[in-house]
Amino acid sequence: MNEYALVTGASRGIGRAVAERLAEDGFKVIINYHHNIDAAESTKAAIEAKGGYAELLPFDVSDGGAIETALTQWEAAHEGEHISVLVNNAGIRRDGLMVFMSEDDWHNVMRTTTEGFYFITRHVLSGMLRARKGRIVNITSVSGISGLPGQVNYSAAKAALIGATKALSKEVAARKVTVNAVAPGFIATDMTADLEEAELKKTIPAGRFGQPEEVASLVSFLCSDQAAYITGQVIAIAGGMG
């Protein structure tokens, strides 16, 4: 396969597992990250150790200008190529009760999710539409479906991503581009490392946190040819939560 897959936030956690899995599936993987170059290099090395192809493309997904610059430079360096698979995965949480929520915590969480989706997707979509083939997977959260206390910013951002997924899927289905959302529950990554796992597990019907590789399997399927007729869906992977 000679197709490129861009995974945002692929230096760690779910994004890393998705990048490794898509490389195993035969995609040339573009690893986006923000600050953590050591972790990004480690993802790249893991892919290469298994015979896959990976390259690094750092940019801040909350910065539209940085996104445009990075993607334009990528295209200049890869003449005639385009990105066939986009996984909008990078995300942050800044939890706190609404009455105490700072404007920074509101805007940073919203921007990281929604600006990233808007600028990156708009940019790579034209190549997919021309090729009449493409896969976009947006990593949302059960928090964006049910809403969780202490996460008004995060729930709002992830719910916005669900609306965008559904609307865009209808715009581009005729051009054989699918757009789906994956909604994890609690997954064991750096993002959840500060949570009380022993207590939270009691609220999960499956009785455990999920693993990043389990989310990656679902993303892999949605990016495959077998998933060509699935679009505009929100698929929870949450051990029965939500």
Strands (E), 80-144: 83-88, 134-139
Query: Segment 149-168, which members bind ligand NAP (CB under 6 A)?
Result: none
Binding of ligand NAP by 61 (CB under 6 A): yes
Q: How far apart are the C-alpha atoms of 34 and 68, rounded to whole Å?
A: 15
Q: How far apart are the C-alpha atoms of 139 and 91, rounded to whole Å?
A: 9
Return the SS3 of 139: strand
When the beta carbons of 3 and 60 are compared against ligand NAP, the nearer one is: 60
Binding of ligand NAP by 134 (CB under 6 A): no
Binding of ligand NAP by 117 (CB under 6 A): no
Amino acid identity, residue 63?
Answer: D
Instruction: Give the one residue of 4, 74, 119, 186 binding ligand NAP; rule: CB under 6 A.
Output: 186
When the beta carbons of 1 and 190 are compared against ligand NAP, the nearer one is: 190
Instruction: Give the one residue of 69, 167, 190, 240 binding ligand NAP; rule: CB under 6 A.
Output: 190
CB 180 within 8 A of CB 231: yes
Q: Is 147 left (phi over 0), alpha (psi -120 to 50) or beta?
A: left
User: Half-sphere exposure (CA, 13 Å, Cβ side) for 191?
Assistant: 24
Binding of ligand NAP by 121 (CB under 6 A): no
Stretch touching ligand NAP by CB under 6 A, among 20-28, 56-64, 94-102, 217-225? 56-64
Element (H, E) at 229: none
Pattern 195-234, ligand NAP, x by CB under 6 A? ----------------------------------------
Task: Determine the size of the site formed for ligand NAP (CB under 6 A).
Answer: 30
Query: How many other CB atoms sit within 10 Å of the CB of residue 221?
Result: 15
Element (H, E) at 95: none
CB 87 within 8 A of CB 31: no
Catalytic sites, residue numbers: 154
User: Half-sphere exposure (CA, 13 Å, Cβ side) for 192?
Assistant: 20
Q: How far apart are the C-alpha atoms of 210 and 193, rounded to whole Å?
A: 13
Pattern 71-110, ligand NAP, x by CB under 6 A? ------------------xxxx------------------
CB 158 within 8 A of CB 144: yes
When the beta carbons of 133 and 144 are compared against ligand NAP, the nearer one is: 144
Binding of ligand NAP by 139 (CB under 6 A): yes
Binding of ligand NAP by 60 (CB under 6 A): yes
Binding of ligand NAP by 191 (CB under 6 A): yes
Binding of ligand NAP by 14 (CB under 6 A): yes
Report the interface residues with ligand NAP, using CB under 6 A: 8-9, 11-15, 32-36, 39, 60-62, 89-92, 112, 139, 141, 184, 186-187, 189-192
